[in-house]
């Protein structure tokens, strides 16, 4: 009998920090194979989740992994890129884990995403780079991009994990 693969600590931490409410609308950018979606789904009694990824293979895996929640309408997944996305609604929570565009470019997507947040909505960005030495550079860049694109930073946490520390930044539209 095969055992289920371990859930990465950074994803468990992201799910905890999102503090999803039962009626929340949640958007995950770069949803990959749907592991974080699977952690969020049980919290959404009346809410819903949309996962966006630019990889059709990842979307297929996410749908397969979460087939029951997709069939019930709690979770949905869409192929697309952040720069071209039009989610068509506002979200109480937006989350992205290890999306380098938020620190190694001008992060122009953040300006578009601000309009996707519902009033009092929160954005959570999480990063676990291959090496802990990259964390200060990532934190500095993400802080600057968030402020420049009209966000107010709420929390910054570095959490020790088994491999490399994970950086979590939570912001709201300013």
Q: Is residue 139 part of a domain?
A: yes
Q: Is residue 1 part of a domain?
A: no
Q: Is residue 2 part of a domain?
A: no
Q: Is residue 3 part of a domain?
A: no
Split at pLDDT 50, 70, 90, the class of 163 is confident
Q: Is residue 91 part of a domain?
A: yes
Whether the CA torsion 56, 77, 84, 105 is positive or negative: it is negative
Question: CA nearest 79: which of 49, 50, 115?
Answer: 50
Q: Is residue 4 part of a domain?
A: no
pLDDT tens per residue across span 37-48: 999 999 999 999
pLDDT tens per residue across span 47-90: 999 999 999 999 999 999 999 999 999 999 999 999 899 998 99
| CATH number (domain holding residue 52) | 3.40.50.150
pLDDT tens per residue across span 132-148: 999 999 999 999 999 99
- State the total domains in the chain: 1
The token pair at 49 is: 């989740």
- Which residues constitute the domain of residue 146? 9-173
Split at pLDDT 50, 70, 90, the class of 1 is very low
Q: Is residue 101 part of a domain?
A: yes
Q: What is the pLDDT of residue 4?
A: 59
């Amino acid at each position: 009998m095969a055992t289920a693969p371990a859930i990465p600590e950074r994803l468990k931490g992201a799910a905890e920090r999102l503090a999803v409410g039962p009626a929340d609308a949640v958007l995950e950018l770069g949803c990959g194979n749907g592991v974080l979606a699977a952690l969020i789904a049980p919290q959404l009694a009346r809410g819903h989740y949309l996962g966006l990824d630019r990889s059709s293979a990842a979307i297929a895996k996410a749908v397969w992994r979460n087939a029951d929640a997709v069939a019930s309408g709690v979770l949905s997944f869409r192929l697309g890129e952040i720069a071209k996305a039009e989610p068509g609604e506002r979200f109480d929570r937006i989350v992205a884990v290890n999306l380098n565009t938020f620190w190694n470019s001008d992060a122009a997507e953040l300006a578009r995403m601000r309009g996707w947040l519902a009033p009092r909505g929160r954005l959570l960005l999480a990063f676990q780079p291959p090496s802990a030495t990259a964390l200060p550079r990532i934190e500095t860049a993400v802080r600057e991009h968030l402020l420049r694109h009209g966000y107010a930073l709420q929390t910054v946490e570095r959490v020790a994990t088994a491999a490399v520390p994970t950086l979590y930044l939570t912001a709201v539209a300013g």
